Amino acid sequence: MSKYITFFQRKFETKPYEEEAAAEFDNEKKKYVNFSLDIGWSMHKIYGPRKQKNDVHTYLKKCNGFVRCNEKGCRFYLKELHPQFDVKLINKQCTVIGCKNCGSVLEHVDTCPAEVRYRFVNTKCKLEQIGNHNHGPYVSNHLSEEEKDKLTERLLVNPTVTLKAAVQGINRRTGQIVDLVVDINLILGTRDRVEYELNKRREQINMPRKGEFLGEFGKIMNNYTGSPAIKTYCRFSNLPAVTDVTYKAIEKGYYLCTTVMYIKELKKHAVIFQAVMDGLSYNYFAQHFFAFFTEYKVKFDGEDSFLGMMMDFSLAQKKGFLQAYQQYTGKNNGMRFLKGCYMHWMQSVQRISSNNNIIPYDEADKFRELLHVTKTATNGSNGGSNHPSVA
């Protein structure tokens, strides 16, 4: 229900028409109140209220035309956009703010002859459109209910879609093609507007906003602080720890870095340390490993020395571990505690061996033989492990 007494149902009629609405006159203020003259197009006032006998008030307004972007390739190219309501604001819209999609200067086309007259008499207001518009309806600044429903459907299908993926139509991390939200409405062509509309839809269906899940993680940490006895079961001198990072188990744009260890009493691996990161550079891994060393008071010398950390062949993980080790111990011999993941190593091997530009076909057998020697060789510098070290 409208908050106004006077309002009009029909919006942006291209041809002349008339419409009547209720009106309320305030006898103390001697004017009509609680009214909206909005009919879907930008107008400036020619005159009004012009007061006549018997409390008759009239307004006359003229269409402001439209603004458009003339930049080819822009989503709003030659689209008829809603201008502001006075000359100063329109000039600012065109030259200072510019196109919301590409940032180019907008052109104001102020050639529309259409006018509209409002005539308030007693308890009625009569609207009369004079002349035809020479342009069509503006690109909407708001989503219709149908468009809101479409956006909600997209969220339900992919609750953790990133802004970049929604706007560009591809998730660069997974390579997955996703539907462009701009296909719903052109106003969804900028990240700011998409973020606003996605958050509104998330609120509507009680879905956490992007980043709010971190607060939920904080609640879990406060309520479930972990087993105080877990450290007594982590025999770092006998078994290696394993660290891996994933994005599939967490909201897009963040990464879950997990360190696990085999616990003999449980007869399975258990999570002993975990962190949420918003990047994959070595600095994030350095923070993770340093916090891990500090929390468990890891020893790197003596009889109870740390056996090693197994992980994939990510250079960022390797550099992060070495930086954390140097910061924690003051030493630079951290490579001896790094163990590479055999599965990741073999994936790299297979990519190389299948490339005949690197390994000629007639040398493939020799290459595989050398790989077997490398895999099974004992390296005294890494504690005698027969796992390949991270190179």
- CATH number of the domain that residue 266 is part of: 3.30.420
Helix (H, G, I), strand (E, B) or coil at 280: coil
Among residues 20, 17, 10, 22, the alpha carbon closest in space to that of 115 is found at 17
Q: Are residue 199 and residue 276 in the same domain, yes or no?
A: no
Residue 169 makes CB contacts below 8 A (sequence gap 6+) with 177, 178, 179, 180
Q: Are residue 60 and residue 30 in the same domain, yes or no?
A: yes
Whether residue 190 is contained in a domain is answered as yes
Q: Are residue 200 and residue 170 in the same domain, yes or no?
A: yes
Q: Are residue 89 and residue 189 in the same domain, yes or no?
A: no
Distances from the Cα of 332 to the Cα of 207, 247, 298, 322, 384, angstroms: 47, 31, 16, 8, 20
Q: Angle of helix 145-157 relative to helix 191-204, nearest 10 degrees?
A: 80
Q: Are residue 121 and residue 149 in the same domain, yes or no?
A: no
Whether residue 365 is contained in a domain is answered as no
Q: Which residue range is the domain that position 232 belongs to? A: 228-345
Whether residue 354 is contained in a domain is answered as no
Helix (H, G, I), strand (E, B) or coil at 109: strand
- Hunting for tokens 């997990």 — which residue is that? 258
Q: Are residue 82 and residue 170 in the same domain, yes or no?
A: no
Token pair, residue 379, equals: 């390296």
Whether residue 352 is contained in a domain is answered as no
Query: What pLDDT tens digit does each residue of the chain (391 aa) get?
Result: 567 889 998 888 888 999 999 999 999 999 999 999 999 899 999 999 999 998 999 999 999 999 999 999 888 899 999 999 889 999 999 999 999 888 899 999 999 999 999 999 999 999 999 999 999 988 877 888 888 888 888 877 777 677 777 777 665 555 566 677 878 877 787 778 888 888 888 888 776 665 555 555 666 666 666 677 788 889 999 999 999 988 776 776 788 899 999 999 889 999 999 888 888 899 999 999 999 999 999 999 988 899 999 987 688 999 999 999 999 999 999 999 998 776 666 777 777 777 777 888 778 778 877 877 776 655 544 444 444 444 4
Whether residue 391 is contained in a domain is answered as no
pTM of the model: 0.47
- Count: domains in the chain: 3
Contact yes or no for 117/131 (Cβ under 8 A): no
Give the C-alpha separation, 291 to 320, whole Å: 12
Q: Are residue 172 and residue 250 in the same domain, yes or no?
A: no
Q: Alpha-carbon torsion 67, 71, 74, 78, what sign?
A: positive
Token pair, residue 14, equals: 């291209």
C-alpha 223: how far from its chain's center?
29
Q: Are residue 194 and residue 267 in the same domain, yes or no?
A: no
Amino acid at 236: F
